[in-house]
């Protein structure tokens, strides 16, 4: 499968040192969801250890590779679940009838 034209956006910065002010800097590298979903999960917990199974469902969408700070943001990919089962709890005022019909027609 082809990924989107832009697969990630990244920036790393550091402020110029000034007397009396702390040194500021930061970094981000945001991956598009399509590419993130097709990558392997992050290596956070060795296989077989407690907590390894939920970590196997994570896909990194933002991290800090240059500073190596060990920070990341991830989304959870749950296979064999219907996302429409979760939406009403998140957005109860919305009518999902048409969306469920289109979802069923596409994936069943």
Measuring CA to CA, which residue among 46, 105, 56, 47 is closest to residue 79? 56
Evaluate whether 83 touches 100 at the Cβ level (below 8 Å).
Answer: no
Torsion region of 68: left, alpha or beta (phi above 0 gives left; psi -120 to 50 gives alpha):
left
Question: Quick check: pTM over 0.75?
Answer: no
4: pLDDT confidence band, cut at 50, 70 and 90?
A: low
pLDDT of residue 54: 81
Q: For the sheet containing 58-63, what is the strand order?
A: 8-14, 25-31, 58-63, 72-76
pLDDT of residue 77: 84
């Amino acid at each position: 499968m082809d990924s989107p034209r832009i697969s990630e956006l990244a920036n790393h910065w550091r402020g110029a040192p000034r007397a009396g002010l702390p040194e500021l800097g930061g970094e981000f590298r945001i991956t598009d969801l399509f590419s993130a979903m097709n990558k392997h999960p992050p290596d956070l917990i060795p296989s077989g250890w407690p907590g390894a199974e939920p970590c196997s469902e994570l896909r990194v969408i933002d991290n800090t590779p240059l500073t190596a700070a060990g920070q990341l943001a991830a989304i959870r990919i749950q296979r064999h679940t219907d996302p429409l089962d979760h939406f009403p709890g998140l957005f109860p005022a919305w009518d999902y009838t048409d969306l469920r019909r289109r979802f069923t027609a596409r994936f069943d």
